[in-house]
A and B are shown apart, each in its own frame.
Chain A
Amino acid sequence: MGHLIGNDYLQEHLVTVAKNIVLAIKKAPMITGRTPIEAEIIWGEDIVPIIDVIEPVAKAARYVQWDYQTLKGCYDKGEPPVIIGIGAKVDRSDLGWNCGACGFSTCREFNKYAKENSGGGQLGGPCCNWKLLDFGIACDWACASAWQYKVDNRIMGSVGFSLMALNYLPNSNVKLGLALGPARDMVYYSREEMHKKFTYEEEKTDMLKSVPTMFTCFPGNGNPMYKTKDDWWAPPEFMDVKYSEASMDAYQKIVYEQVPEAVMKHVDKISARYKKEK
């Protein structure tokens, strides 16, 4: 007998659904049959470190800001998404296929390079592409599984970056995060959390910067005017291509100062869990 009312029980149930999804991740077919895939479930207050690490990056990258506002908004409303961290070890090839997809003629050369250069990228790398395909299949099975449980979800590189920085999934070198729930429509597509979060001007500027060719006019004179306003000819504006030291500096500051700061706040607590696990 029972009588469930409200949303709290659904929020709890998301964790059970996440466990079912991890079963799908583990069951996902592989091409090589030799890619170690890890999955972890993080929920409630424990997603705060992940949000904290994304926060500074959000200031510099629009799509990260998009994810940040969604995750933070849901958390603040008391309906935090459940995060499924998915990772794989793909920076060594034990295949001996010498297929060349990685850019080296042999797996041996790739392994030598990988040993010296592992982990430099924001999303890990380098990768044996066949093992990376196995990882991709597993991530897709996570999404497809969530879809079949009718829970709104999105696989996120931003969360993957955060998992990497905080050293979740310590045995993996590529990581992505599947944000799962809360239990409603339009969490990750046509996002409700983005309502009234930006101005018309900001949106217009984004489009101008992201799709510049859309806004250039007759290019015959070799330096086309840039149609940034209704009366774009008075006075005219032109595309300006140059290196921006200021914006590069700002990004470096985020990656090398603000992200490590956020990481240091949480990392001991997280790494202690893996020690306990051993």
Chain B
Amino acid sequence: MKKYVEDLDFQGEENISDWTPWSPQDIRRKKGVLDAARMMVNSAMTAPVAGGVPQLEAELIYGQKEIEALARRVEELAHSNKAWKEAYLYEAVMVRDSDVVIMLGNTRCHETPLDANCGMCGGTMDCGYFYDKVEHKYGIVDTTNRKSETPIKGPLCSARVDDLGYAIGSALWTAHTLMVDARPFASMGMAGQKLGYCSNSGMVVGVPVAAKPKNPYVDVNVDYHLINMDRVLDNTRKVYQTARLVRGFDYRKWIPKPTNKKGEE
């Protein structure tokens, strides 16, 4: 009966806008992006994989705190490796500018390889490259020791990694079809993995999604981590107040006006 009443109640008005951030109208907009992200995950799930074997997990991250935590983790990674520094700092800004971040991970690449002797992982005639480097018995991999000196604990089954690529591709294709902006990022994947997202996966890729007037993932300026929309806005808040008070006057008594040629107000 409750459902019937809800059906009759199908009416309403919704204002949707990206301005101001985190306002009701912005959150409504974000909910649309969340729907798109869910569809993207569906597409990822239907992507072709070797042998049709289930091997994908996904996680959706949204909300002020959650997005900020991910951005900070990307920044941590940026400062851990010279090769990453600038790009990852820029990408942390992109995380903050995203409505939803999708994490896509492959649950088999580190633990249950394809076992097809395809040789993609090490260029050898069999799966020996992978199995020689992991702890295993009868080809059953022991992943209980999760310590690793590198951000990702390799080696991985490349056939499975390739399949993860398909999943990402399908998610991105759907993003294009739905006209939301999205791009795949290594930084967000590794940061997400460190935060415990897609914890069953050996490799994770982050796909941030946004529906904003400007695609957040392209056309960035130099020193983007220092000069970006948030910083520009905050700088305005910082500078404008001071500009007001340096020539304070009582607007009830006199307001300065432009002068004419004779020098009169």
Residues of A within 8 A of B (CB): 28-32, 91, 95-105, 113-114, 117-127, 129-130, 132-141, 143-144, 154-155, 157, 174
Q: Compute how far the CA of A117 lies from the CA of B173 in the bound complex, rounded to whole angstroms.
A: 35
Are A100 and B119 in touch, CB under 8 angstroms? Answer: no
Are A99 and B120 in touch, CB under 8 angstroms? Answer: no
Contacts of B210 in A (CB 8 A): none
Q: List 29 A-B contacts (CB under 8 A).
A: A29-B172, A96-B82, A99-B152, A100-B154, A102-B155, A103-B155, A104-B154, A117-B124, A121-B119, A122-B125, A123-B120, A125-B119, A126-B120, A130-B186, A132-B165, A133-B164, A133-B165, A136-B163, A136-B164, A136-B165, A136-B166, A137-B165, A137-B169, A138-B169, A139-B169, A140-B166, A141-B172, A157-B118, A174-B120
Closest 7 CB pairs of A and B: A136-B165, A121-B119, A100-B150, A140-B169, A103-B155, A96-B83, A125-B123
Asked if B168 CB lies within 8 Å of chain A CBs, one says yes
Of B119, B125, B172, B203, the residue contacting A129 (CB under 8 A) is B203
Contacts of B84 in A (CB 8 A): 97
A129-B158, A132-B161, A140-B47 in contact; A100/B152 too (CB < 8 A)?
yes
Of A31, A101, A137, A155, the residue contacting B152 (CB under 8 A) is A101
Query: Which chain B residue shows the least CB distance to A130?
Result: B186
Asked if B180 CB lies within 8 Å of chain A CBs, one says no
Contacts of A139 in B (CB 8 A): 162, 165-166, 169
Asked if B262 CB lies within 8 Å of chain A CBs, one says no
Are B165 and A99 in touch, CB under 8 angstroms? Answer: no
Are B83 and A121 in touch, CB under 8 angstroms? Answer: no
Query: Which chain B residue shows the least CB distance to A32?
Result: B186
Q: Compute how far the CA of A96 lies from the CA of B149 in the bound complex, rounded to whole angstroms.
A: 16
Asked if B32 CB lies within 8 Å of chain A CBs, one says no
A29-B184, A99-B150 in contact; A132/B83 too (CB < 8 A)?
no
Asked if B122 CB lies within 8 Å of chain A CBs, one says yes
Query: Which chain B residue shows the least CB distance to A252?
Result: B125
Q: Compute how far the CA of A133 lies from the CA of B133 in the bound complex, rounded to whole angstroms.
A: 21
Asked if B62 CB lies within 8 Å of chain A CBs, one says no
Of B83, B118, B121, B154, the residue contacting A95 (CB under 8 A) is B83
Contacts of B183 in A (CB 8 A): 29
Minimum CB–CB distance for A134 against chain B, Å: 7
Are B161 and A125 in touch, CB under 8 angstroms? Answer: no
Q: Compute how far the CA of A173 lies from the CA of B173 in the bound complex, rounded to whole angstroms.
A: 25
Q: Compute how far the CA of A118 lies from the CA of B154 in the bound complex, rounded to whole angstroms.
A: 18
Asked if B81 CB lies within 8 Å of chain A CBs, one says yes
Of A28, A30, A125, the residue contacting B121 (CB under 8 A) is A125
Q: Compute how far the CA of A134 lies from the CA of B186 in the bound complex, rounded to whole angstroms.
A: 11
Are A103 and B154 in touch, CB under 8 angstroms? Answer: yes
